Structure 1
Amino acid sequence: MAAGGLDARFVDRLSERHTCPVCLVALREPMMTKCGHLICNDCVRPLARRGRVVCPLCREEQNESEIYPNNYDKREIMSLKIYCDQQEKGCGWKGELRERETHNETCGYVDVLCKHECGEMVMKKDMESHMKKTCMNRKVECRYCNTIVTFKYLNDYHTKCEMFPVACEYCKQQVVRGEMNEHVSKDGTCPNRPLECEFSEAGCQFIGNRNEMTIHVQNELASHLSLLMKQQSNTKSLLSSTRACLAKRECELEFITKKVGIQGSVSQLDICVFEWNITNWLDCRKKAELKPCFMIESKSFYTGPQGYHLCLLLYPMGYGRYKGSHVSVDACVCKGDYDDQLPKKQHCKFSFTLIDQQPDAINVVVRREKTVELVPEEFFDATDDFITHGKLNSRSYIQNNEIFIQFCLQLNVL
């Protein structure tokens, strides 16, 4: 559109009288010069020099005050017939020039910015279809779970949708994501998922899919019975030796208590021994395979009368850079009843010991020892590489689906 005049698509050719000699389009707010010529109001101002204007047609010089508005020609121009500005896009509207702005407000061929702020310019008549079918910011329903999602994020949402079908890594069947864990679980429906023999706790090392497992159990009844009998015998021997060991420790503890005594508002033993029996080991291991940060927590205990309050942690699938290859152990100083009366920091030596449960191997253990500074309500400097999974299964550290870990803490270590 020209700076001064009205640039429009006229139905009939615009007359020379109604054409501005400066901007060369239809006159806008026409002004009559003293010499009888018409110029747009906005086009007069650039012609003025020190209050005088030179007519661009006849070059007659005149005062600005001698130029005045011409409403008659203005009405004639505004009544001229024009086409819609969007004629090339397909709009067939025709009307008077004065109706132009009113028509543009409702014209379906005018480009407007998408209401969903996707950045697209769309013709008004196509806006509804655009917002429903092609706008990247339109809301759509996930076909799998019916959740409402912005279209441009739909593919990302499918990577975490619980109802999205994914291929099982073992049998390649399509299973919805939320049911995959159940599908590959011990009691699930996956036919190819590797399973440990149900007699693995007794020492059977066989691993196979469901069909192979059925055949194995049927063919190995005698060997499984032998393993169970051996396990029962070992358990009896272990229980006997454990009782003897506990009786000995009770005597030692009683002796230490009498020797150290309990005096004043705070008193604690220099040595604390805690026996941790972890049951259902295989279930814990499987949970950790599905959830690598899974940990087992012991019952809390005190280091002695009015002592520090501790709790042990075990990560079946390891922690830190040993995740997936080791079993990791840690200890935590919990909030206790006597913290206000205890030293804020104290050096100590601690050890974790994994006991081999074979009666003839009572002294075969895995022991990891460290000296650290004990601080209330903080973790110890843990043992992330306590034992590898291979070594854990190499001896009888696991019996009856249980493992035994002994934790020993020695205070006042310099």
Structure 2
Amino acid sequence: MVFLNRTIDTNFFSHLSFFVLQNFQDLEAEKAIMGSIVYCIHHKDGCKWSDELRKLKFQLVSMFHFYIARLMIAHLNTCKHDAVPCSNKCGAMIPRVLMEDHLKYTCAQRRARCDFCAKEFTGHTLEKHTGTCGYEPLYCENKCGMKVQRRHLSQHKLGECAKRLVACRYCNKEFVFDTLGAHHAKCGRFPVACPHRCETAVLPREDLEVHLKDHCTTHLLSCTFKDAGCRFKGNRFSLDKHLEESTKMHLSLMCSVVTKQQHQITSLKSAISKLSLNYTGTLIWKITDYSAKMSEAKAKEGMELVSPPFYTSQYGYKLQASLFLNGNGTGEGSHISIYIKILPGEYDALLRWPFSHSVSFTIFDQTVVAEKACNIVESFIPDPTWKNFQRPSREPDSLGFGFPRFLSHEMVKKRHFVKDNTMFIRVKVDPSKIVAV
């Protein structure tokens, strides 16, 4: 295999001629040599030209190198991969296949126009010009979305860009230009006119409220007792005079307000009381500070503790328990006495009288081991002939019905009926146990 080279090496041909002369008489050697394939030196670059050595027409072996050279030169004169000098005389050796691109894009001596200013440059100067052309449009660095020629970019950023930073002329704080209008709408130092057109022409927005309250001479002010019902309106000077002359009227208005508020408070208390009422028919009564209350009961005769009222049902009987820690009647001084009384309720007119449900009292033993607890329970079924179970009047009996000897003081000491200075008593009404009336 032989590769052609543009530069003819005479030593190569001399050696090849000697080799041929020595072996020419050997027909097999001659056949091998003359069958050799000659490739272009640009074969690796993609040139597909090749030819057989036997096609060369020569009579003398000494002329062998001459025909090889002719064959090579004839091909290289047209080989598109062979490098030739640039036709613009830039000094570069360029393969023919790349010459068109070189002349158009990379030749230092090419002539080209700038796409932005349309001026003509050589390739070398165009490269320097690119990136500096004043007519090239560029996006604003502030990201306002505008494209501006490079020569006008500085002016745009200083005076035209919607995203440039500018200072508010009133408060001197900096804002993005396109948000300045929204800032002016709430800027505290923005000048506004008095809405009542007083002698003050303009003033900062943040001072307007104080101006209207303390300085504006034309602003109509309501009387201080407006919420109490006074309907007077006037400017600052007439308001001062009104307050001096209307003291009695204002006092009368305030008294009416106080009376109205007292009724409202009473109504609210009633509503709250109704919301907190017990309608289950069972009361768990927690008695705290037992020691102090027992000492007070011993020192003060007839001291009675009363429970919160409760109902047997939502529309049922209203009841209340009472407790004498130092006893009452036959249990005085030795026992705890407990009673139940019927209070006037909202639905008494709809209920069946006399009251006939069974009532039980339970005092809880608060021992740690629940299985060892020994609760005390007492119950009764009302006697329909006793007046305390009839429909109550607005002033119910002070005592009620119950057990004067419910639990002895000695038993209280023996068991855990009082723990952490607290006692628990349950009062339960059982509507299923009704005495026949």
- TM-score, normalised to structure 1, is 0.36
Larger helix percent: 2
Greater Rg, structure 1 or structure 2? 2
